[in-house]
Amino acid sequence: MILAVLQARVSSVRLPGKVLMPLLGKPMISRQIDRVKRSERIDRLVVATSMEERDNKLSDLCREKEVPCFRGSLEDVLDRFYQATLSYNPEHVVRLTGDCPVIDPHIIDEVIDFYFEGEFDYATNSIEPYTFPDGLDVEIFKFGVLERAWKEAVMPSHREHVSLFIRKNPQFFKLGRYENSTDLSHLRFTVDEAEDFEYITKIYEELFPENPLFTTADILDLIRRKPSLSEINSDIQRNEGGKKSQAADVQYLMNETIPEKRYKTSRDTLARALKTIPLGSQTFSKSKTAYPYGISPHFIVKGSGSHVWDIDNNEYIDFVNALAAITLGYNDPDVTCAVKSQLDDGTIFSLPHELEIRVAEKITEMVPCAEMVRFGKNGSDATAGAVRLARAFTGRDHVAVCGYHGWQDWYIGSTSRDLGVPKEVSALTHTFQYNNIESLYNLFHSFPGDIACVIMEPMNSTEPENCFLEEIRDLTEKNGCLLIFDEMVTGFRFARGGAQEYFGVIPDIAAFGKGLSNGYPVSAIAGRADVMKLMEEIFFSFTFAGETLSLAAAEAALTRIQKEDVIESFWIQGGKIVDGIQRLIKKYALEDAVSLYGKQCWPIMKFKDSVHFSQWEIKTLFLQEVFKRGILVLGSHNMSYAHTDSDIERLLIVYDEVFSIIKDGLINRGINKMLQVEPLIPLFSVR
């Protein structure tokens, strides 16, 4: 169905009450309604006006003419327009305005036909460069396009002018411009000023008595015969009314980009949190050490799909995704349904639940190294448990590590964040370099017969080179120690069976978490049966390890990953990000400041020190600018199944804007001047 919505209100600023002004004895809006009704393509017509008392007369007039009238917000015109359509369930919507009393039904139908022939999302005859007279404006768009504009438009001008959001986002919508065969843009048939009404009145006086169905061709013929008519309103400029809303946009943007206003509740809540919570957060990477204080959101209140909302109700497309724990999207319907169903039966019991078996079986189906499985609650549980298991199996104490493996003493003692770790514990853990097999050879040489395991991320930002993983596998076997893959990020992301499946190198043990359950707290150790059987002897036990809500979430998440193209979507959508960022780095010649690493399923962007500015100053500026534009990202792009093409398009539009700012700051040595806060302080590097 094609629904036409005619916007009208009595409270016009420039010419108050114009829609009810008498035009040959009938209100102007009444004349326009009669003309619109002659369209052969429009199925229904509704007038959309405001709840203002002044618009009561307009509502009464519609009742007399037996035309439906919807009444809504005066200021939020987009909301009024959208709400006016809902009860009709249209497929397509035509937008008309109540100040066009010579609207031509033939032109309405021509624009509609053009829209369908071109399979456009939106089509109009009133987009620049103009060719039709002002006042013959017709717009048509899909209802879904209108709904998206209603949901996403925030600028004052986009709420005041129904289609402006659509027009300003051609990357989202296929736009069609219907041209007139002759440029008549100098003519003005709309009514905004007294001179306009005088002009239209004379047209009606000349044409209507003899020909009530007069057309645009008849008006043009009249103007040719009496050219002085057009001089009545020739000094009035087109779209004068847009200046007020543009001024409102400027004020809106000023308010939105002033951190004190945009993040006020976040800042106040963080101050409250710091009184009882060290760093104000339970997680290091979610605290003010990662999000620059003053220009960042610090608390999120809800998420849906690929979007989250902070405590100040700012909306973001989220590429952090709970530090890569969200793989399907926030509040995924399958996962949520499974959790709600299990909640009715209970969360934890005095004996194991069958879910423990079902999820363990599913992991053994998917993961190459998995013959047996044990569960923990977070990644550090799984990596620490795997190391303890390897020590018990080999009877050795030393551990070789590469990458980040959690907070517990055995690992964190090998980093600069080792405060509180006994030196005797730190002395048992030794680091080696990724893609440097000699560095691991040296460890085996230094500690012959003492290394229990090599634990490593099979890949993070750097790809394995020169059969690095295969050589690691051979080296561990020759030295009688176990190979442990920490697949917290790569598991259920690189492939259904993790990086070990993708690279074809199978470890003895693997640790999983994050994407295992789409954000619910559960982790897993999976490995060879002969090794895993020793779990019966070592102590690896948790009250909540068999908690059923997280296991129900894991079962639902893994089922979707098995049956749907979840992994494939990570690679495809992430590949679009990689291509886009590479293009923008080249466009702005930022090769010396920005680098791109990782696989397409997990693109990682890093900043580099420049001659005059540190990577932390550049990154802080980057975060400052992307946050205010509604993108939540820290560097890595942790893809979820919910990320749409529109999300990727928006990300790259924002990056285009922000890279331009960074380039300007580097050229003019102005990065520090652009910062609204102190730059981030470098912390220990986890990778």
The residues facing 491 across adjacent strands are: 495
Please say if the pLDDT value at position 13 is more than 90.
no
Residue 450 is encoded by which pair of tokens? 């003492």
Query: In whole angstroms, what is the distance from residue 648 CA to residue 573 CA?
Result: 7
Question: What is d(CA 450, CA 441) in angstroms, rounded to the nearest whole number?
Answer: 13
The two tokens of residue 287 are 């605290």
| In contact, 498 and 487? CB cutoff 8 Å | yes
The predicted pLDDT at position 256 comes to 52
Give the pLDDT band of residue 448 (cuts 50, 70, 90).
Answer: very high
pTM greater than the 0.95 cutoff: no
DSSP 7-57: E--S--SSSTTGGGSEETTEEHHHHHHHHHTT-SS--EEEEEEES-GGGHH
pLDDT digits (tens, 9 = 90+) for 336-382: 999 999 999 999 999 999 999 999 999 999 999 999 999 999 999 99
3-class SS at 606? strand
Residues 529-560: pLDDT tens digits? 999 999 999 999 999 999 999 999 999 999 99
The Cα–Cα gap between 380 and 388 comes to 12
The pLDDT score that the predictor gives to residue 254 is 47
Per the structure block, which two tokens stand in for 49? 């006006």
pLDDT at 682 > cutoff 90: no
Per DSSP, the three-state class of 200 is: helix
As a whole number of angstroms, the longest Cα–Cα distance in the chain is 108
What is the residue type of 213?
L
pLDDT in the model for residue 27: 95
Contact by Cβ (8 Å): 454, 400 = yes
Average pLDDT for 312-324: 94
Residue 209: cis peptide before it, omega within 30 degrees of 0? no
Asked if 399 and 451 touch (Cβ cutoff 8 Å), the reply is yes
Report residue 632 as tokens.
């939540």
CB of 607 within 8 A of CB of 637? no
Domains of the chain plus CATH, in order, are 2-237 (3.90.550.10), 261-328+567-674 (3.90.1150.10), 333-563 (3.40.640.10)
Is 50 exceeded by the pLDDT of residue 520? yes
* Cα 438 to chain centroid, rounded: 43
pLDDT at 152 over 90: no
Q: Which residues of 42-71 are buried (b: 16+ CB within 10 A; e: fewer)?
A: beebbbbbbeeeebeebbebbeebebebbb
Which whole number is the average pLDDT over 227-239?
Answer: 80
Is the confidence at residue 18, as pLDDT, over 70?
A: yes
Q: Which helix or strand (DSSP H or E) is residue 273 part of?
A: helix 264-273
Q: Which residue has the tokens 């010396």?
A: 592
Q: What is the mean pLDDT of the chain?
A: 93
* pLDDT higher than threshold 90 for residue 14: no
**Confidence grade of residue 257 (pLDDT, cut at 50, 70, 90):** low
Residue 514: both structure tokens together: 């994050």
Spatial neighbors of 192 by CB under 8 A, at least 6 apart, are 12, 14, 15, 18, 99, 236, 240, 241
pLDDT for 170 equals 84
Q: Tell me 70's DSSP state.
A: E
